[in-house]
């Protein structure tokens, strides 16, 4: 689907989709084409429905994994191929928002300390200290760190949006140590390594590499449950709520367009639950 892929990528760029979203959508579309065995220009609603049912009933993928496939195919047929009737009758699944599994403060500290190198410690500390997604940490450049204003400028976040978050003095000191120790040439704070680990490339470190390094740190820290690199962002949000930060400020820091997305963190904070007195003690005063 070479020419279709190029057109789809161009349409995604025009739609302002982030690079990671473009890669994901195109990969989903390629999997559909491989499954159906012919060009998407020759496929119709029956093939799309059969593929999506295969994902749900045979592969039994989770809703969160299924949604990008559906979104990608709706974009492919609705925008790129200009055949919206192919997918317009396929419903979105009933919203199931998974409750994030939030790391405790002690777990965050242990994972950061267990990172296999100072570079990854700085990467993980940045994700937690500023509530950044892994792609936002990887995309940080020197000019995004405004030490005088005490701000980190997050450029090109999810959906291509930019925002500002606080720059903690402890994080600033850690980033400066990281910069000096690695002898970075700039402009990237977390560039990819060159061939055979020599030198630095003029592009950010790979996101899969960052996730693998985090998974290794989780094992080294002996965290007995499944947590991901994105969990540092969940911990950032939940811990700030527990410290008294209001919901609207948190929405701005996280870059959420809708306040409802931010309110999910109200369901995972446990400080108020622990502080609530059970009626049991009133039975035997």
pLDDT digits (tens, 9 = 90+) for 134-162: 999 999 999 999 999 999 999 877 767 78
Told to judge if 158 belongs to the known catalytic residues of this protein, a careful annotator would answer: yes
| Rounded Cα–Cα distance for residues 8 and 11 (Å) | 5
Clarify whether residues 75 and 111 are in a common domain: no
Please give the average per-residue pLDDT across 69-85, as a whole number: 95
Query: Does residue 283 lie within any of the structural domains?
Result: no
Structure token digits, residue 139: 């995309």
Query: Does residue 213 lie within any of the structural domains?
Result: yes
Clarify whether residues 247 and 124 are in a common domain: yes
Told to judge if 256 belongs to the known catalytic residues of this protein, a careful annotator would answer: yes
Query: Does residue 98 lie within any of the structural domains?
Result: no
| Rounded Cα–Cα distance for residues 87 and 76 (Å) | 9
Residue 51: which CATH number?
1.10.150.130
Clarify whether residues 35 and 142 are in a common domain: no
**Number of C-beta neighbours around residue 199 at 10 A:** 11
Told to judge if 233 belongs to the known catalytic residues of this protein, a careful annotator would answer: yes
Question: Could you tell me the pLDDT band of residue 99, with boundaries at 50, 70 and 90?
Answer: low
Structure token digits, residue 237: 């949000």
State pLDDT tens for residues 22-35: 889 999 999 999 99
Told to judge if 69 belongs to the known catalytic residues of this protein, a careful annotator would answer: no
In this predicted structure, what is the pLDDT of residue 159? Answer: 67
Q: How many folded domains does the chain comprise?
A: 2
From 49, 110, 163, 230, active-site residue: 230
Is the per-residue pLDDT at 93 higher than 60? yes
From 17, 22, 74, 133, active-site residue: 133
Residue 243: which CATH number?
1.10.443.10
Cα 105 off chain centre by: 20
Enclosing domain of residue 242: 105-271
Please give the average per-residue pLDDT across 207-235, as a whole number: 94
Clarify whether residues 128 and 13 are in a common domain: no
From 22, 119, 134, 233, active-site residue: 233
Nearest by Cα to 78 from 87, 70, 69, 68: 87
Domain limit, last residue, from 24, 55, 86: 86
Q: Cα-flanking dihedrals φ and ψ of residue 151, to 5°? A: -135, 150
| Rounded Cα–Cα distance for residues 39 and 7 (Å) | 14
Question: Could you tell me the pLDDT band of residue 2, with boundaries at 50, 70 and 90?
Answer: confident
In this predicted structure, what is the pLDDT of residue 47? Answer: 96
The verdict on whether omega for the bond into residue 145 sits within 30 degrees of 0, i.e. cis, is: no
Domain limit, last residue, from 54, 86, 118: 86
State pLDDT tens for residues 228-269: 999 999 999 999 998 989 999 999 999 988 887 888 787 776
The label of the residue with tokens 């410290």 reads 243
| Rounded Cα–Cα distance for residues 125 and 135 (Å) | 14
On whether the CB atoms of residues 264 and 100 are closer than 8 A, the answer is: yes
DSSP reduced 3-state for 146: strand
Query: Does residue 91 lie within any of the structural domains?
Result: no
From 23, 141, 153, 158, active-site residue: 158
3-class SS shares of the chain: helix, strand, coil, % to 5 = 60, 5, 35
Please give the average per-residue pLDDT across 279-284, as a whole number: 80
């Amino acid at each position: 689907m070479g020419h279709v892929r190029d057109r789809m990528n161009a349409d995604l760029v025009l739609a302002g989709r982030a690079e990671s979203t473009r890669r994901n959508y195109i990969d989903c579309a390629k999997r559909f084409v491989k499954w159906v065995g012919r060009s998407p220009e020759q496929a119709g609603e029956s093939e799309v429905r059969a593929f999506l049912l295969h994902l749900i009933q045979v592969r039994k993928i989770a809703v969160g994994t299924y949604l990008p496939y559906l979104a990608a195919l709706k974009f492919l047929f609705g925008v790129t191929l200009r055949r919206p009737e192919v997918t317009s009758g396929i419903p979105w699944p009933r919203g199931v928002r998974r409750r994030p599994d939030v790391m405790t403060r002690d777990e965050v500290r242990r994972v950061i300390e267990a990172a296999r190198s100072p570079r990854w410690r700085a990467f993980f500390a940045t994700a937690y200290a500023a509530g950044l997604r892994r792609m936002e940490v990887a995309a940080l450049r020197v000019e995004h760190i405004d030490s005088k204003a005490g701000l980190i400028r997050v450029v090109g976040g999810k959906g291509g949006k930019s925002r500002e978050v606080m720059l903690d003095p402890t994080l600033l000191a850690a980033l400066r140590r990281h910069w000096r120790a690695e002898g970075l040439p700039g402009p990237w704070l977390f560039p990819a390594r060159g061939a055979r680990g020599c030198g630095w490339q003029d592009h950010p470190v790979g996101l899969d590499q960052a996730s693998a390094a985090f998974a290794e740190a989780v094992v080294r820290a002996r965290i007995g449950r499944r947590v991901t690199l994105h969990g540092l962002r969940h911990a950032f949000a939940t811990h700030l709520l527990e410290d008294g930060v209001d919901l609207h400020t948190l929405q701005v820091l996280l870059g959420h367009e809708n306040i409802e997305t931010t309110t999910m963190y109200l369901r995972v904070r446990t400080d108020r639950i622990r502080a609530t007195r059970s009626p049991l003690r009133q039975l035997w005063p």
